[in-house]
Amino acid sequence: MTEHRPFTLPPGNGAKVCVGGGAGFIGSHIAKRLKENGYKVTVVDWKENEFMKPEEFCDEFILDDLRKLEVAVRACKDCLQVYNLAADMGGMGFICSNESVLSFNNTSISMNMLEAARRSKCRDFFYASSACVYNEAKQEDPENPGLVESDAWPARPQDMYGLEKLYAEEMALAYGRDFPLNIRIARFHNIYGPRGTWKGGREKAPAAFCRKAITSTVEYEIWGDGLQTRSFTYIDDCVEGVLRLTFSDCDVPINLGSTEMISMNDFAAVALSYEDKGHLPIKHIDGPMGVRGRNSNNVLIMEKLGWEPTTKIVDGLRKTYFWIKGEIEREIKEGNTADFSKSEIVQQVEDSLLQLGNEESTV
């Protein structure tokens, strides 16, 4: 393994930072690390964190809607740094069935957080982009050689979620050119770990595969033929990468992903291995498959940060599996009788659009 460049998170000494979407999976882990290092963390999110009390990961919690500019402006006031992790997002069962709603929501959030950071004269702005920005034509082979950052252009992301991410990247880069705001952008490759969404339809493959392995008794369902490939990135690596990037001088979008690519059939075998359930027959069923093959190329992140994610699937998924097992046991004790061995496809068009209401902007 190549040696990694040393990195110590600069002490916060009370400096104010804002984490948009900080009650979510990745945002809450980042907010917690910043708070532990002496930053005064404001989290803004329209829902509360399911697994932690606000005081564990922030100093101020604003429960509000980032589709409103005035909310973003209030949250970013006097901040040295802004981390935008807020988005209407989920795995394949969510993003391909909610394209209109998430386009509306995410465009508004991305725009507002960036403009709020500028108005507040923040120093650094981190934006959470995605491997979903990449051109679909580069992801048609399960033997994906690793997506290089330049593969995003010419643009042909598979869906609106990816296209919005690509536009938001460009908008942030333009702000960085026009104003004294350091723009840092990471393209996350399927992040997983404890405290991530594991049920309800927004969960991605790692959590879904663990949940199904824990609860399946007769057969194990996989969407598609299971030959599709992905790389998965453990949450601790993600947090480390975001902080290294934000405190670096890297001003171009970079991959933040593992290069350990695996087929979904093999990934299921890993999930089933923790409690010797490998005998369960796999049942391939229809479902949203996404791209055929995806992997991260880490040449640029190694060049810019001297670091890349290192957690092996077998280790990261084990921690995720036993955390989800605990959650399932708790839910069953509380009387939940849901069938966790199946994954859902959710559509939330009406509710989500209506949540915006008709309030007048005050900014």
Tokens 């969404």 -> residue = 197
Are the C-beta atoms of residues 157 and 132 closer than 8 Å to each other? yes
Taking the complex as a whole, the smallest distance from the CB of residue 64 to ligand NAD amounts, in Å, to 7
Tell me the C-alpha distance between 33 and 123, whole Å. Answer: 19
Are the C-beta atoms of residues 246 and 184 closer than 8 Å to each other? yes
Q: Of 1, 2, 13, 47, which lies in the binding site for ligand NAD, with binding defined by CB under 6 A?
A: 47
SS3 284: strand
Tell me the C-alpha distance between 316 and 58, whole Å. Answer: 25
Which is it for strands 81-84 and 60-63: parallel, antiparallel or unpaired? unpaired
Q: Which stretch binds ligand NAD (CB under 6 A): 63-71, 218-226, 318-326, 337-345?
A: 63-71
- The b-or-e profile of 48-73 (16+ CB within 10 A means b, else e) is ebeebebeebbbebbeebbbbbbbbb
Instruction: Read off the tokens for 183.
Output: 């723009």
Annotated catalytic sites, by residue? 161
Q: Determine the distance from the C-alpha atom of residue 169 to the mean position of all C-alpha atoms in its chain, rounded to a whole number.
A: 15
Q: Of 88, 149, 164, 169, which lies in the binding site for ligand NAD, with binding defined by CB under 6 A?
A: 88
Q: For residue 43, report the phi and psi dihedrals to the nearest 5 degrees.
A: -105, 135
Q: Which stretch binds ligand NAD (CB under 6 A): 118-126, 145-153, 183-191, 342-350?
A: 183-191
Rule CB under 6 A: which residues touch ligand GKE? 89, 91-93, 95, 130-132, 188-190, 203-205, 208, 222-224, 228, 230, 264, 287-290, 343
Nearer to ligand GKE, 53 or 342 (CB): 342
Q: Of 65, 124, 164, 237, which lies in the binding site for ligand NAD, with binding defined by CB under 6 A?
A: 65
Instruction: Read off the tokens for 93.
Output: 């069962």
Taking the complex as a whole, the smallest distance from the CB of residue 20 to ligand NAD amounts, in Å, to 7
Taking the complex as a whole, the smallest distance from the CB of residue 240 to ligand NAD amounts, in Å, to 15
Taking the complex as a whole, the smallest distance from the CB of residue 35 to ligand NAD amounts, in Å, to 17
- Contact call for residue 163 and ligand NAD (CB under 6 A): no
- Number of Cβ within 10 Å of residue 350's Cβ equals 9
Residue 45 partner contact from ligand NAD, ligand GKE, none using kind-dependent CB cut-offs of 5 to 8 Å? ligand NAD
Q: Of 34, 86, 113, 269, which lies in the binding site for ligand NAD, with binding defined by CB under 6 A?
A: 86
Residues 6+ apart with CB under 8 A from 105: 67, 87, 88, 352
Taking the complex as a whole, the smallest distance from the CB of residue 215 to ligand GKE amounts, in Å, to 12
Q: Of 120, 144, 158, 190, which lies in the binding site for ligand NAD, with binding defined by CB under 6 A?
A: 190
Nearer to ligand NAD, 133 or 222 (CB): 133
